[in-house]
Structure formats: C-alpha cells, structure tokens
Amino acid sequence: MSGVLRIRLLLPHELSGPAVELIEACVGTAHVAVHNGAARRPEGDVIEAVVARESVDGLLKDLVRLGVPDDGSIEVSTPDLSLSKEADRAADRAPGRAGDALVWEELAARTEADSELTGTFLVLLTVATMLAAIGILTDSAITVVGAMVVGPEFGALAALAVGLVDRRWAILRRAVVALAVGFPVAMAITALGVLLAEAVGLVGPQTLAIPGPETEFIYQPGPWSVVVALLAGVAGMVSLTSNRSAALVGVFISVTTVPAAGYVATALVLGQPGRALESALQLLINLAGIVAAAALVLVLRRRARSVRAPVS
C-alpha cells in the first residue's frame, strides 16, 4: 500500500481559498498545486495535493464540512509509485502508520459497491451455492472450498458492519437487501437443481443418509463455529481495510456461509429436515459472528484514531 494518496478537487472559486488553507494546515500534506480557472463545470479551480494516508480521513471530513462535494467534487486515488522525499517526510509527520490508516470514505465506497444486489452478485452467490451442493452430494471438500472462494457475500457482511458503526443507513439497507434476497434466491435455484438431479437418478434420499466425513462439519454448529466466525470477521475486516487481498481469500475459505446455504437446499429436497435446520443455524451463526467481529474491529480502530488525534 502506498504511504500517500493523491487528492484532486474541482470546486467553485469561493471555496478554493478555504480548501487550500485546510490542505496546507493538514499535518500530512506533502505537495499542493492550484490551477486557477481550470475547472469549467463547476466554474472554478482545480486543486491537487499529495497527502499521507494517515491524514486523509480527517482532511476529507474537513473538506466535506466546507461543502466541497455540494458544488464540486473530491477524488482520491492511490499512486502506483510515488518518489518524493517531502512525501516521505509528510508520512513520518502524520500520526500512525500508513498500513493501519483507515479512510472511511474509501471503505464505504468499496463495501457499498460490493454489497449492491446486482445480477453479478446473484449469479456468483447462486453458482457458489450450487457448487457447495455438488460438493456435499459428492462428499468433495475441494469443491466445497471452491464454493467458499466464489461466494461474494463477505462484501455485504462488511457493508453491514460499516453501516452499523458509521451509521450509514443507505449502505446498511443495501447490504440487508442483498443478503435477504441473495441467499433465498441462491438456495431456491440450488434446490431446483437438486430436484432435477434426483429426477434423472443422479441422487436420491439415501445420498445424505450416511454423513460424508469430508462435509459433515457444515451442518454441525457448535462453540467452534462461533469462534471461527468471529476470527473470520476480524481477519476479514482487517484485511479489507489494509488491502491485504491474500488474507481476505483465507477468510473466504474459513467460514461455512455458502456451504451451509447449499446444505439447507440439498437436505430439504432429499428429506433431511433436521440437517437442513442445523445448516440454517450454522449459516446464521456465521453471518452474525462475522458482522459482529467486523464491527468491533471498526469500533476499536476508530477509538484508536481518536486517541492519537490530540497528539498530532
């Protein structure tokens, strides 16, 4: 992750002076460029700045309070490469470390995009649930793990945590809709697939009669299910806020959200309501645990930032 971010403002003339003052007063600012009269819509100026990542969140809040987004725009981007001794000094002056810095607007934008109920979200969740069902029917742990990786639900769960902690109700509602619609649709389509497989003789009621040793963990909720869900929520939010994509993949393959949904659909069709109920409980435990732990991470990070703020 780059230690600095590039901020670009398009804003009316009357806001240009106050915005420059805010940027230059920011402890992590390295470079500032003002292009007077360069903006045409809105008619005004273009301001560019290089700011240490640790200082960006506070600066963005100040610019929003100034009203820049009302009549203009704020763009934040991460440079692929930044060679500047002044930028290095600005990063040293800024409180904390770049790898631990949390930019709320960036996080909200990422989770909002990942949690939207779109055709892509439904297709991925349905494919993942069907893969999980196939892995259950064939007792293939590899297929179940593949289903975990394909599942897109963590974005919506992270959005729930962001919405709860930062009181962003629009994001919260969007995530709830994505999960409340996505999982039932995915399970219904998976159930239809299992019915078709049963009709052509690929599976039957006896398929789930004897528990498969590779997949029986899916419908056996217990204390360890809670622990795994909480740890996954912590790891997932930390990796998401620090752009550690490799760690995020590890989260995907550690919790049985999609596999549990696949087992619910499969067990109901093949006459195993008890296991369907247990799988549904497993699903709820994992969803709730991930959201709770992710929200706790955000609360702790916000408190840590507020403790450091007076020092800077």
Give the pLDDT of residue 1: 45
Give the pLDDT of residue 293: 94
- CB atoms near residue 209 (< 10 Å): 10
Q: How far apart, in Å, do the first and last CA atoms of the chain sit? A: 22
Q: Are residues 202 and 279 in the same domain?
A: yes
The residue out of 101, 134, 153 marking a domain boundary is 101
Give the pLDDT of residue 25: 94
Q: How far apart are CA 235 and CA 208, in angstroms?
A: 33
Q: Which amino acid is present at 151?
A: G
Q: Are residues 239 and 276 in the same domain?
A: yes
Give the pLDDT of residue 12: 95
Q: Are residues 164 and 281 in the same domain?
A: yes
Does 178 reside within a domain? yes
Residues, the chain: 312
Give the pLDDT of residue 310: 42
Q: How far apart are CA 4 and CA 10, in angstroms?
A: 20
Q: Are residues 16 and 129 in the same domain?
A: no
Q: Are residues 8 and 156 in the same domain?
A: no
DSSP for residue 32: E
Q: What are phi and psi of 2, to 5 degrees?
A: -65, 145
Does 131 reside within a domain? yes
Give the pLDDT of residue 2: 58
Q: Are residues 256 and 288 in the same domain?
A: yes
Q: How far apart are CA 303 and CA 1, in angstroms?
A: 23
Give the pLDDT of residue 68: 95
Helix (H, G, I), strand (E, B) or coil at 182: helix
Contact 75, 39 (CB under 8 A): no
Q: Are residues 132 and 180 in the same domain?
A: yes
- CB atoms near residue 178 (< 10 Å): 25
Does 68 reside within a domain? yes
Give the pLDDT of residue 311: 39
- CATH number, domain of 24, equals 3.30.70.120
The residue out of 73, 101, 129 marking a domain boundary is 101
Contact 312, 253 (CB under 8 A): no
Q: Are residues 93 and 115 in the same domain?
A: no
Across the chain, which has 312 residues, the per-10-residue mean pLDDT values are 85 95 93 95 94 90 94 91 87 73 81 88 95 91 88 91 92 94 97 94 78 72 88 87 60 76 93 92 93 93 62 38
Does 312 reside within a domain? no
Contact 101, 175 (CB under 8 A): no
Does 311 reside within a domain? no
Q: Are residues 114 and 180 in the same domain?
A: yes
Does 209 reside within a domain? yes
Contact 76, 7 (CB under 8 A): yes
Give the pLDDT of residue 312: 38
Q: Give me the residues paired with residue 50 across strands.
A: 6, 31
How many domains is the chain partitioned into structurally? 2
The residue out of 80, 101, 122 marking a domain boundary is 101
Q: Are residues 158 and 289 in the same domain?
A: yes
Contact 76, 108 (CB under 8 A): no
Q: Are residues 132 and 74 in the same domain?
A: no
Q: How far apart are CA 20 and CA 210, in angstroms?
A: 70
What global pTM score does this model have?
0.80
Does 62 reside within a domain? yes
Q: How far apart are CA 49 and CA 260, in angstroms?
A: 48
Q: Are residues 242 and 276 in the same domain?
A: yes
What is the domain range of residue 49? 4-101
Does 249 reside within a domain? yes
Q: How far apart are CA 47 and CA 19, in angstroms?
A: 9
